[in-house]
Amino acid sequence: MELIQHTITWCKGEIFEGRIILITGLLVAVATLGFWKLGTTPFAKAAIVPVGVLALLLVGRGISMNVTNTKRITTFQEAYATDPVAFAQAEQVRADEFIAWYPRTRWIFLGVAVAGMLLMMTGSANWKSIGMVLLALSLCLFVIDHFSEERAMIYHGRILEAVQGV
């Protein structure tokens, strides 16, 4: 299989991931509406804004991933058609850069989770709801990042095969 097919497969995986994030964001938005309409406790009322912000972040990221990666497919196909060797080398540099971030992101997500846990131990319903959202966000990010890293490592291997085969 040529590198461009692997590239398109990687982009389609990113698009699928974006759709999952979008669906998750929409479900979180429904939860926000539930807190707003049905919430009677101080915690439920305090959760409306933080959970709503989380929903907006997830929906925005999901849409962004879909649009960006759909455009990338066309751009990548054109670049590959122009010069497959230069395309493979450029993809190797790009993949090396984003793969280097995966270990760092785990520490960032851990920090977000710890901050969320600390906020959950406060007495204020507002801070507890923010802590809950930070914990939910870190969980989402850990899961998304895991699948993204796995897909990136497979794609990176295909890039290395293409570059070495030249």
pLDDT score of 165 = 76
Please determine, for residue 16, whether its predicted confidence score (pLDDT) is greater than 90: yes
CB environment 115-153: b (16+ within 10 A), e (fewer): ebeebeeeeeebbbbbbbbbbbbbebbeebbeebbebbe
Amino acid at 140: C
Backbone dihedral angles phi then psi of residue 61, each to the nearest 5 degrees? -65, -40
pLDDT score of 123 = 82
pLDDT score of 92 = 95
Q: Sign of the CA dihedral 11, 14, 20, 26?
A: negative
Please determine, for residue 166, whether its predicted confidence score (pLDDT) is greater than 80: no
**131: pLDDT confidence band, cut at 50, 70 and 90?**
very high
- ∠ CA(31), CA(141), CA(131), 5° rounding? 55
Average pLDDT over residues 68-77: 96
Could you tell me the pTM of the whole model? Answer: 0.89
